[in-house]
Amino acid sequence: MLRQAPDDLLNQMASIYDSVARRAFEIFEENGSIFGRDWDDWFQAESEQLHPVHTDVVDAGDSLKVRAEVPGFTANDLQVSVEPGSLTITGKRESKKDLEKEGNVLYSERCADEVLRVIDLPATVDPAKVTATLKDGVLELEMPKAAPPTKIKVEPKAA
């Protein structure tokens, strides 16, 4: 769950962006193609396509702790990428809901839920030591802070 190739993450983010852009254009057309509502259309499309990830970031002294609410997502649905100064949480789940039937299917519903959250961290962390757990729809990450860079005094020598 913690490691994701940069190319995979960029491709997933590009796909999400394209999906939101398509929906924003549909909203623009539905509203009569009136210019000047670009941001309103974009934010409406974004809220329809992406579910918010509510987060808490806590400085615990030698580490940062992050709690992110991702109800309904499993560990296989989520990808978490940690860099020294940022955290990215992406996920996609697909669900299917069928009405009980006797005979032919009269109704069938499917939806895709996606999350995307990028957090600039208040301190530099060591990505190699990050741990993550998912329990009851809450993703918890413990990210040890990176050791501060050490100052090295360099004495110039005559050439």
Q: Is 118 part of any domain? A: yes
Question: What is the C-alpha separation between 148 and 155, in angstroms, rounded?
Answer: 22
**Cβ atoms < 10 Å from Cβ of 57:** 17
Q: Is 156 part of any domain? A: no
What DSSP state is assigned to residue 49? H
Q: Is 158 part of any domain? A: no
Q: Is 94 part of any domain? A: yes
How many residues would you count in the chain? 159
What DSSP state is assigned to residue 80? E
pTM tops 0.95, yes or no? no
pLDDT at 134: 95
Strand partners, 6: none
Q: Is 62 part of any domain? A: yes
Q: Mean pLDDT of all residues in the chain?
A: 82
**CATH number reported for the structural domain that contains residue 87 in this entry:** 2.60.40.790
The answer to whether the CB of 50 falls within 8 A of the CB of 118 is no
SS3 128: helix
Over 50: is that where the pLDDT of 1 sits? no
Confidence of residue 6 (pLDDT cuts 50, 70, 90): low
State the sign of the Cα–Cα–Cα–Cα dihedral 13, 15, 20, 25. positive
**Number of domains comprising the chain:** 1
Give tens-digit pLDDT for 20-77.
888 888 888 888 888 887 888 877 777 776 667 889 999 999 999 999 998 888 999 9
pLDDT at 5: 55
Domain membership of residue 48 as a residue range? 6-144
Q: What is the DSSP string of 15-41?
A: HHHHHHHHHHHHHHHHTTS-TT-HHHH
Half-sphere exposure of 128 (CA within 13 A, CB side): 2
Helix axes 6-30, 38-49, angle to 10 degrees: 120
